[in-house]
Amino acid sequence: MILYMIAQCTWGFIQSTVGFIVFLLNIRARHFIYHGAIITEWKYKSSVSLGLFIFVTKEPNFYWKFRDKYTMEEVKERLLVHEYGHAVQSLILGPLYMLIISLPSGLWAGLPPLYRMRHRRQLSYYWFYPECWANFLGEKVTKTKSMERMVID
């Protein structure tokens, strides 16, 4: 756990620095440690991983699609495993993480034409390479199921 934290603060310096600033802006939120990462449960509907810091939603806005199959806690755990997978990507890519993972992931999540395409084709958000790789890594490291190919849009 200590080596993980040191690596995130050195090799993952850029994203961990941004994460620390976001952490300070959300200092009153609930925090806990998960496999060495500092987790913040925040009020926003999306989740993001920034090096040592992971910010997860308290209430995934897509839960209603899965309430017949999973509890809210199960969906939140799967989402945490996915975000932790992004933290592992940060360890692998270091200073390239923001360019190779964060930027494409943010565009994939936030651009309306891409949202419409996913919705029209019923493509899973987790189909795109940063997301499916994060699922894979999160599952390998935590030995817990991630979001897999859930269609959340």
b/e 56-79 (16+ beta carbons within 10 angstroms → b): bbeebebbeebeeebeeeebbbbb
Res. 73 pLDDT band, cuts 50 70 90 = very high
Res. 61 pLDDT band, cuts 50 70 90 = confident
- Residue 84: the pLDDT is 98
pLDDT at 20 over 90: yes
pLDDT at 62 over 90: no
Mean pLDDT value across residues 20-26: 98
